[in-house]
Amino acid sequence: MSERIGWIGLGELGFPMASNLLDNGYRLTVYNRTRSKAELLAERGGQIATQPSEVAAKGGLVVSVLWDSDATESVVTPEFLSRMEGGVHIGMCTGSPEAAQRLAKLHAEHGSTYVEAPVFGRPEAARSRQLAIPYAGPPEAKNSVKPILTALGGYALFDMGEQPGVPTVIKQLGNFLIISMGRSLAEGLAIAEGAGVSPTAAVNMLAESLFPAPIFRNYGKALVEKKSILAASKIPAKDLSLFHRLAEGHARSNPITQTLLQLTLAVDK
């Protein structure tokens, strides 16, 4: 591939996704706050930028995989937008729909395009190229980025139309359901084990009948192996807070979200 892609963010998801692009022959210019992570990709041919704006180029493509909307908006500076003229920025953070709308409008005002594409999948899913990605943006831009989304690890791409914010709402909903399932499964298996039932047998039976879903099988396997997936991470509290804020902003009752958030915050203390 002759195309050079700008990349911002090499966290637990960003690094394997960027690595996938290198494996697929794409050239990268990479920025990360912790330079050592970028140096690992430089050993494989990537170029290192010293500022986020340096990864942007007129008519080019930039991918950002950052913690949230605030982090994404912080890199979209006037210099970044000036350098991005005619290009496409794929934003893959889990943030707010309002921020996605602001980013889409800001890029359009400066002659570039924002494609919103949050990611479903843990780091191991990124490494095995098993990510699910809902995305939205102008049709021409979406068509141009589909090969990139596939190359960075997306096995299932879902075109959600042109309205900014829609993929982010779906991402928040999905994360809420994952956290709900994870906590319910952990509690249920603990009770079953206390009653003398093998957690392995319970998960195997349920995952093959009532709940034949990858997320149930994967989380069930981790819980059987006494691995804690949701604890010791700031992500569940962040995601639940975002979903609670979304519900409150649209005057929707959210007692389950609030209960899960309280439980999560209590564990984090």
CA neighbours closer than 13 Å in the CB half-sphere of residue 84: 28
Contact indicator for 87, 114 with CB cutoff of 8 Å: no
Contact indicator for 5, 62 with CB cutoff of 8 Å: yes
Coil/strand/helix, residue 192? helix
CA neighbours closer than 13 Å in the CB half-sphere of residue 6: 26
Alpha helix (H) ranges present in the chain?
Answer: 14-23, 35-42, 69-75, 78-83, 97-109, 123-127, 139-151, 166-194, 199-207, 214-224, 235-249, 255-268
Q: Which of 37, 146, 171, 221 is catalytic?
A: 171
Copy the structure tokens of residue 67: 């913690």
171 catalytic, yes or no? Answer: yes
Contact indicator for 118, 96 with CB cutoff of 8 Å: no
Measured CA distances, 253 to 243, 246, 259 (Å): 11, 11, 12
Burial of residue 235 (CB within 10 Å: 0-12, 13-18, 19+) is middle
Residues in the chain: 269
Strand-pairing partners, residue 120, are: 132
Task: Return the DSSP state at 228.
Answer: -
Could you give the residue numbers annotated as active site? 171
